[in-house]
Amino acid sequence: MPASPELFADLIDDAAVFPPGNAPLEVALRRHQDHRRAGHAPAIGPLLVPASASQELIELLEGDSVTEPLGFGVIGRPGTDPALVADAVDRLHRSDRVRLVGAELGWLPDWRDLGLSVPLALEVARDVRSGQGEQLADIAAGGSVPVLAKFRTGATATWPWPDETELAGFLARATWAGVRFKLTGGLHHAVRDDHPDPQHGLLNVLAASHALADGATLDHAERLLQIRDAGALAAVVGGWDRSAVELARRHLASYGCCEVTDPLADLADLGLLPDTYRKDLR
């Protein structure tokens, strides 16, 4: 049976311009507008744009016929000069065509001193040995704006794929610290598998997030991330009531995906999407 629509609300941020999609910004903007008009629009978050592309975005929007401001997030990957992110935030704030919903950058000890005026997502280190626990505690202490932790679930040239043990560790530490988080990279499918490279599954992550928020152990969360039986996971998630959905999304805010219809198509095939979401997916 279809899962509760609240489970998917604003779940998938549109990362079309980032690898491996690498869509030109003009193409990504047009596709994002299509998503905003589609039946699955309630599941789609903002279009994520590199800080370096903020001026290009403004110029594209000024020549566009869409009158309602679209939601955008500014991204500075770890190592990006924070001043570049701050400049992009300031520039986009001045545009009446932009609804700026947040900024993302790597965690820095002095992130509170940057003066950023939008909600933040700070990408944390991989594990406790590299400072993840301390960074999560720092994020839990809060700031002048809402702040999330961010963790990369897909591989890059400098970030090997985090296995179930490593991902479960982050999910557990964030939950125990009371920190909301977003994920990015690799979550293109509903269920854990090799496609041909290893990828975590969205349903696995939702199940692990639900379990940890409900008091489950780290080992149990790791086992949930290992499940490859799509039917079994779909049956569990499809049977969640409102309180279970709230637990699953209590700490999981959203995740970035470069082709937002990939996971939605998988969810539709499993019968989990409401009918209104399905009509524009194929």
Number of domains in the chain: 1
How distant, in Å, are the alpha carbons of 19, 81, 140, 151, 218 from that of 16? Answer: 8, 22, 30, 18, 32
How distant, in Å, are the alpha carbons of 191, 193, 215, 221, 231 from that of 227? Answer: 8, 9, 19, 10, 10
DSSP 262: H
Q: How many CB atoms lie within 10 A of CB 92?
A: 24
pLDDT at 79: 87
Dig out the tokens for 91 from the structure.
């520039």
Dig out the tokens for 87 from the structure.
């400049």
Which residue intervals of the chain are DSSP H helices?
25-37, 54-62, 82-93, 132-140, 164-176, 202-213, 218-226, 230-238, 242-249, 261-269, 275-278
pLDDT at 63: 81
The residue type of 58 is I
What is the distance between the alpha carbons of residues 32 and 240, in angstroms, rounded to a whole number? Answer: 30
What is the distance between the alpha carbons of residues 4 and 97, in angstroms, rounded to a whole number? Answer: 32
DSSP states of 39-92: TTGGGEEEEEEEGGGHHHHHHHHHT----SPEEEEEE--TTS-HHHHHHHHHHH
Dig out the tokens for 55 from the structure.
């001026």
Which domain covers residue 157, as residue numbers? 5-278
Per-block average pLDDT, block size 10, for the chain (282 residues)?
93 96 94 94 97 95 77 93 96 92 96 95 94 98 97 90 96 98 95 92 98 98 98 95 98 96 94 86 68
CATH number at residue 119: 3.20.20.70
Q: Are 244 and 7 in contact (CB under 8 A)?
A: no
Q: Cis peptide before 42, with omega less than 30 degrees from 0?
A: no
pLDDT at 276: 86
Indicate the SS3 state at residue 239.
Answer: coil
Dig out the tokens for 7 from the structure.
């489970």
The residues, any chain, with a CB within 8 Å of residue 148's CB and separated by 6 or more, are 119, 120, 121, 122, 139, 179, 180, 181, 182, 253
Q: Are 207 and 167 in contact (CB under 8 A)?
A: no
